[in-house]
């Protein structure tokens, strides 16, 4: 297969559009067109730019459409070629983050306060205390770590510490990329506040509500712009962003652009998870470039050790160790050695019994969220489409659901298209149930980040799909007690160790994997590599 055969129609149309407006002709124009098609294709694969050699650099600059500054559709910087927009996002992020890293803060009472919030009990390094110390002394801080390492517990203590040290109460915003992630952070913070070793007044000064980044910035669909920007900055003294690995280059650039000059920014996330769906690997680049502003929490406090060890083996690209762990007979991790559809349908019986025996929507959601199937692909064998269809037919054949038409009592759905008017967003999960308040009329119920329940008529919903299974990408920001990870029967480019690591770390208690050993090993051995200039351009400021 040639490189050109992988390009999309959009890649080819875009490259032709630019090449015909270039100052080039003949073979030079043809080569330029292929280069731009590759740039378009790679940008859609998550890369911020592509690497070019000296010959290509000279040809691009001769096209009349490229510049080494910001005055052209294409930007050439060292050995990198960008679309102008992504170069601008990267430049803005480097400038804003770079400025924040040059500001240090000192507090005379910090050590005494740290001792109160993080009392020393062993001779080991308390990484949560180190993270708090870094957050107190820096206006920009990254706290990274795997699941169960205490990122939320740590950030709650940091918020209280900063409020105690502030001359006036800080105005704080808590945000996450998705509604699911926002709901999880909000729940965790609410559970952690009561144990803080501080006054009730300090506890009351801490925010409890968490919003999505798009709501925080004020999305204005269908425009890509936000209400808050450099001209109209956010009013907050401190912004905390959870699940920061999901934030792409464009959104992170727009976030830092909207911070007022004196604001602090704290990013929380797992640098080893999947990078954002869109361009960039921002969290990984920032942690690599700014080690003095990054603290990794290393001790797991509430994560099953067998799941932790499996995740680490995958992350370290040790397929034999990971496969052996799955075959060891541990009750918390293992391979699925039975009919997958029968197993999934059986797992869903608790949920179906709950909707028949209870009108408590919150309880029904809790039962539904206990178990989830995570798929690598949307189409093909053991994909989202395959499993959702077959499980639905299986449950119907056994009489547990009655799917007459699209909507039926018990149908779980995931929103796939944002609807700002209804405040429903891509990834939100709803349950179609008979509404006891409306004589059994079918309504779709959603849990909001503040814990409230929202219900809508099925006909009013934006596009959605059945969700007995979801993609691993869509599961980011979620946690489930038990998961089944379904890999396809053949390897494909989507399968990477980051994808598998992300899936495994969604589970709190149990992981089962449906996979062929060859496909599993190839997945563990393949690593995502995203090309960009962010880390390289930030590194000179890393020693400040």
Instruction: Return all residues near 280 (Cβ < 8 A) that are at least 6 apart.
Output: 46, 48, 248, 249, 250, 252, 530, 532, 534
Is 505 annotated as ligand-binding?
Answer: no
Is 149 annotated as ligand-binding?
Answer: yes
Phi, psi of 45 (to 5 degrees): -90, 0
CA trace torsion 400, 404, 405, 406 (10° rounding): -10
Euclidean distance between CA atoms 154 and 151, whole angstroms: 5
Query: Ramachandran region of residue 107, left (φ > 0), alpha (ψ -120 to 50) or beta?
Result: beta
Is 26 annotated as ligand-binding?
Answer: no
- Joined tokens for residue 267: 């990013």
Phi, psi of 415 (to 5 degrees): -70, 135
Q: In this structure, how many other beta carbons lie within 10 angstroms of the beta carbon of residue 366?
A: 14
Is 224 annotated as ligand-binding?
Answer: no
Instruction: Return all residues near 118 (Cβ < 8 A) that are at least 6 apart.
Output: 126, 128, 129, 132, 157
Exposure string for 173-190, b = 16+ CB within 10 A, e = fewer: bbbbbbbbbbbbbbebbb
Secondary structure (3-state) at 431 = strand
Is 145 annotated as ligand-binding?
Answer: yes
Euclidean distance between CA atoms 263 and 138, whole angstroms: 11
Q: Is the separation of the CB atoms in 182 and 210 below 8 Å?
A: yes
Is 146 annotated as ligand-binding?
Answer: yes
What Rg value do the Cα atoms of the chain yield, rounded?
A: 25
Helix (H) or strand (E) holding 513: strand 507-514
Is 151 annotated as ligand-binding?
Answer: yes
Tokens 């694969």, residue located: 45
Strands 429-435 and 412-415: antiparallel
**DSSP notation for 225-238:** -BS-SSSS----SE
Q: Is the separation of the CB atoms in 266 and 240 below 8 Å?
A: yes
Phi, psi of 199 (to 5 degrees): -70, 160
Is 152 annotated as ligand-binding?
Answer: yes
Closest Cα to residue 448, out of 460, 434, 430, 463? 430
Q: Is the separation of the CB atoms in 419 and 369 below 8 Å?
A: no
Residue ranges of the annotated binding site for ATP are 145-152
Q: Which residues are annotated as a binding site?
A: 145-152
């Amino acid at each position: 297969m040639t490189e050109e055969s992988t390009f999309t129609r959009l890649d080819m149309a875009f490259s032709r559009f630019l090449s015909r407006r270039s100052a080039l002709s003949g073979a030079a124009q043809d080569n330029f067109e292929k280069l731009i098609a590759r740039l378009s294709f790679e940008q859609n694969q998550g890369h911020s730019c592509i690497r070019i050699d000296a010959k290509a650099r000279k040809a691009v600059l001769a096209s009349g459409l490229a510049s080494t500054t910001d005055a052209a559709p294409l930007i050439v910087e060292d050995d990198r070629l960008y679309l102008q927009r992504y170069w601008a996002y990267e430049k803005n992020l480097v400038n804003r983050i770079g400025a924040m890293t040059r500001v240090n803060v000192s507090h005379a009472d910090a050590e005494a306060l740290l001792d109160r919030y993080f009392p020393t009990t062993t001779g080991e390094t308390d990484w949560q205390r180190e993270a708090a110390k870094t957050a107190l002394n820096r206006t920009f801080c990254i706290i990274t770590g795997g699941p169960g390492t205490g990122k939320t517990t740590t950030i709650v203590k940091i918020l209280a510490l900063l409020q105690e040290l502030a001359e006036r109460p800080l105005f704080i915003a808590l945000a996450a990329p998705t509604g699911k992630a926002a709901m999880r952070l909000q729940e965790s913070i609410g559970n952690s506040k009561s144990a803080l070793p501080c006054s009730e007044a300090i506890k009351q000064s801490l925010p409890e509500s968490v919003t999505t980044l798009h709501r925080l910035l004020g999305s204005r669909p269908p425009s890509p712009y936000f209400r808050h920007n450099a001209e109209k900055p956010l009013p907050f003294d401190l912004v905390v962003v959870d699940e920061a690995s999901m934030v792409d280059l464009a959104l992170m650039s727009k976030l830092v652009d909207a911070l007022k000059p004196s604001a602090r920014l704290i990013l929380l996330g797992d640098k080893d998870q999947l990078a954002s769906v869109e361009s960039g690997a921002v969290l990984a680049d920032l942690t690599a470039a700014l080690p003095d502003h990054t603290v990794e929490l290393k001790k797991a406090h509430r994560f099953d050790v067998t799941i932790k060890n499996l995740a680490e083996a995958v992350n370290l690209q040790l397929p034999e160790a990971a496969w052996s762990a799955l075959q060891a007979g541990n009750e918390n991790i293992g391979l699925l050695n039975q009919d997958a559809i029968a197993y999934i349908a059986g797992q869903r019986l608790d949920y179906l019994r709950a909707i028949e025996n209870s009108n408590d929507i919150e309880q029904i959601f809790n039962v539904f969220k206990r178990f989830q199937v995570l798929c690598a692909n949307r189409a093909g064998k053991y994909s989202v489409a395959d499993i959702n269809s077959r499980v639905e037919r299986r449950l119907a054949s056994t009489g547990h659901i009655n799917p007459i038409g699209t909507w039926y009592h018990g149908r779980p759905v995931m929103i796939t298209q944002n609807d700002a008017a209804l405040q429903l967003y891509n990834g939100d999960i709803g349950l179609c149930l008979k509404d006891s308040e409306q004589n059994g009329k079918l309504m779709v119920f959603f849990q909001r980040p503040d814990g409230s329940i929202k219900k809508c008529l099925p006909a009013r919903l934006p596009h959605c799909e059945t969700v007995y299974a979801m993609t691993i990408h869509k599961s980011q920001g979620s946690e489930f007690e038990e998961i089944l990870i379904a890999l396809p029967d053949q390897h494909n480019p989507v399968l990477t160790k980051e994808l598998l690591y992300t899936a495994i770390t969604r589970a709190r208690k149990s992981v089962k994997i449906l996979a062929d050993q060859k496909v599993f090993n190839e997945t563990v051995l393949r690593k995502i590599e995203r090309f960009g200039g962010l880390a390289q351009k930030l590194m000179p400021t890393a020693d400040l």
